[in-house]
Amino acid sequence: MRARTVVACLAVFVLAVSSLLAADPAAVASSSGATASDGHKVVAYYFHGAQRCKTCLHIESTAEKVMRERFGEELKAGRLTWRTANIDRAENEHFVKDFQLVSSSVVLVELDGEKPVRYKVLDRVWQLARDDFEFEAYVGRETAAFLKNARG
């Protein structure tokens, strides 16, 4: 029964994302032309749709836990920020195309001011969602490496 719920949630989400991709002309975030500056920071996003299954909620809460527990200093210093965004809301639809999202996702984004200069979709979060130890290790490892390579 759980597998059916997850599959149904993903199917609805994929259909919604497909329609958003067809309708949204927003520019894709670029990794070119970036210069180092004090305005660089990293945002860890959890993007989700309006319809949320138990696994979606678990991915969000566990990723947020990793950010709080492993990156508290970076959060406090403002070098890292945690945000969630419902991509079914009109003001957030551009993220689907910007970051090439195909499902609810954890995405690390380096910003120069407000401009995305680099990003990484943590595409294994769904695969690891039922193994908290591996999930937390993966998100922690990827976030640490992303922060290490961030400018500024």
All domains in the chain, ordered by first residue:
2-148 (3.40.30)
Q: How many Cβ atoms from other residues are within 10 Å of residue 68's Cβ?
A: 11
Q: How confident is the model at residue 151 (pLDDT cuts 50, 70, 90)?
A: confident
pLDDT of residue 103: 87
Rounded-to-integer distance, Cα 15 and Cα 19, Å:
6
Q: What percent of the chain has pLDDT over 70?
A: 74
Least confident of 37-41, 62-66, 108-112: 37-41
pLDDT of residue 147: 96
pLDDT of residue 24: 32
Q: How many CA atoms lie within 13 A of 152 on its CB side?
A: 19
pLDDT of residue 38: 55
Angle formed by the axes of helices 132-148 and 54-70, nearest 10°: 50
Backbone φ, ψ for residue 50 (5° rounding):
-70, -35
Q: What is the pLDDT of residues 54-109, one digit of tens each?
A: 999 999 999 999 999 999 999 999 999 999 999 999 999 999 999 999 889 999 99
Mean pLDDT (the chain, rounded)? 80
Q: How confident is the model at residue 19 (pLDDT cuts 50, 70, 90)?
A: very low
Is 118's pLDDT higher than 90?
Answer: yes
